[in-house]
């Protein structure tokens, strides 16, 4: 098992956000966490990374219990995280941003070079010497993902990768995620865009109020429209 969450309960102060949340992800799988804004998707990502430490329950990554470990140690074990806020270094060039993320080759994980990433994200290749502040929102999102891949993770967490970017960039993003799968990278995506999630993911987990409401393929979800309408409709 690549990732396993068991009965996770996470809080912000006294606010109980995740309620006994459990799910697992197989190696090489692309899983989409779906739910409305505020459902608990980002908190799930941060709880996996231990940026929000669960008060109870466990997170296991590649068979190892990482619950309570510092986030930087979790990252060094091969868990990559791309936050919705992007957080690139705007005063550095694209190439310099990528170098910040560089880590050694990791056993059992895809190995990424700058050339491979520029092939994956041609927009970045054309502007490799441009400063981060000169990039569009979509290009900044691509750069954040590429910088994370320079750490050669076994699993990457993508928080709302299609949010607030142009449709043409969304299409490129979807194509890139499918390429990740070809390389054997395990991916967990947090999304509100059902169409985007269906295009890239093998399976979806629907979260509402910090609890799991559905776990299955999109084919099964299509046969249960009442679930889709109850938890995903605006």
Task: Say if residue 233's pLDDT is above 90.
Answer: no
Residue 166, pLDDT above cutoff 90: no
Rounded CA Rg of the chain: 17
Q: What does the pLDDT look like over 72-96, one tens digit per residue?
A: 999 999 999 999 887 899 999 999 9
Distance CA 54, CA 128 (A): 39
Mean pLDDT confidence for 11-22: 97
**218-227 confidence digits (pLDDT tens):** 999 999 999 9
Within a domain: residue 203?
Answer: yes
**Given a cut of 90, is residue 168 above it in pLDDT?**
no
The three-point CA angle 155-82-46 to 5° equals: 80
**Is 60 part of a structural domain of the chain?**
no
> How far apart are the C-alpha atoms of 61 and 188, rounded to whole Å?
13
CATH code of the domain covering residue 172:
3.40.50.300
Instruction: Calculate ∠ Cα 166-171-173, nearest 5°.
Output: 90
What pLDDT was estimated at residue 87? 85
Average pLDDT over residues 198-203: 95
pLDDT at site 210: 97
Does residue 116 form part of some domain? yes
Q: Are 25 and 34 in contact (CB under 8 A)?
A: no
Residue 143 lies in a domain: yes
Handedness of CA 217, 222, 224, 230 (dihedral sign): positive
Total-model pTM: 0.94
Sign of dihedral through CA atoms 45, 46, 52, 57? positive
Instruction: Establish if 148 belongs to a structural domain.
Output: yes
**pLDDT score of 163 more than 90:** no
Handedness of CA 178, 107, 63, 54 (dihedral sign): negative
**Count of C-beta atoms within a 10 Å radius of residue 15:** 9
- Could you tell me what percent of the chain has a pLDDT over 70? 100
Is 86 within the bounds of a domain?
yes
Per-residue pLDDT tens digits for 107-148: 889 999 999 999 999 989 999 999 999 999 889 999 999 999
pLDDT at residue 234 tops 80? no
26 pLDDT band, cuts 50/70/90, is: very high
Give yes or no for a contact between 155 and 183, defined as CB atoms under 8 angstroms apart. no
Q: What is the pLDDT of residue 88?
A: 92
Q: Label residue 2 by pLDDT band (50, 70, 90).
A: very high
Host domain of residue 199: 27-51+78-231
pLDDT for the residue 179: 93
Question: Which pLDDT value is given to residue 169?
Answer: 86
pLDDT reported for residue 48: 98
Query: How does the average pLDDT of the chain come out, rounded?
Result: 94
61: in domain: no
**Residue 2 is assigned to a structural domain of this protein:** no
Number of structural domains (the chain) is 1
DSSP state, 133? Answer: G
pLDDT digits (tens, 9 = 90+) for 41-77: 999 999 999 999 999 999 999 999 999 999 999 999 9
């Amino acid at each position: 098992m690549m990732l396993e969450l068991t009965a996770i309960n996470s809080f912000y102060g006294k606010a109980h956000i995740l309620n006994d949340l459990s799910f697992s992800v197989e190696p090489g799988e692309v899983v989409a966490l779906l739910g409305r804004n505020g459902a608990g998707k980002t908190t799930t990502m941060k709880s996996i990374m231990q940026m929000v430490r669960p008060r109870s329950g466990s997170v296991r990554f590649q068979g190892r219990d990482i619950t309570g470990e510092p986030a930087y140690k979790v990252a060094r074990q091969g868990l990559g995280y791309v936050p919705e806020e992007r957080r690139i270094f705007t005063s550095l060039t694209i190439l310099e941003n990528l170098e910040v993320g560089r880590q050694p080759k990791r056993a059992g994980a895809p190995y990424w070079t700058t050339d491979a990433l520029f092939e994956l994200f041609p927009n970045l290749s054309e502007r490799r010497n441009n400063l981060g502040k000169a990039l569009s929102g979509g290009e900044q999102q691509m750069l954040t993902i590429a910088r994370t891949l320079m750490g050669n993770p076994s699993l990457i967490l993508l928080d709302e990768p299609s949010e607030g970017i142009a449709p043409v960039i969304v299409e490129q993003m979807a194509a890139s995620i499918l390429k990740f799968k070809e390389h054997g990278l395990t991916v967990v995506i947090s999304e509100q865009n059902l169409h985007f999630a269906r295009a890239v993911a093998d399976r979806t987990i629907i979260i509402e109020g910090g609890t799991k409401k559905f776990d299955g393929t999109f084919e099964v979800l299509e046969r249960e429209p009442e679930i889709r309408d109850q938890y995903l409709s605006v």
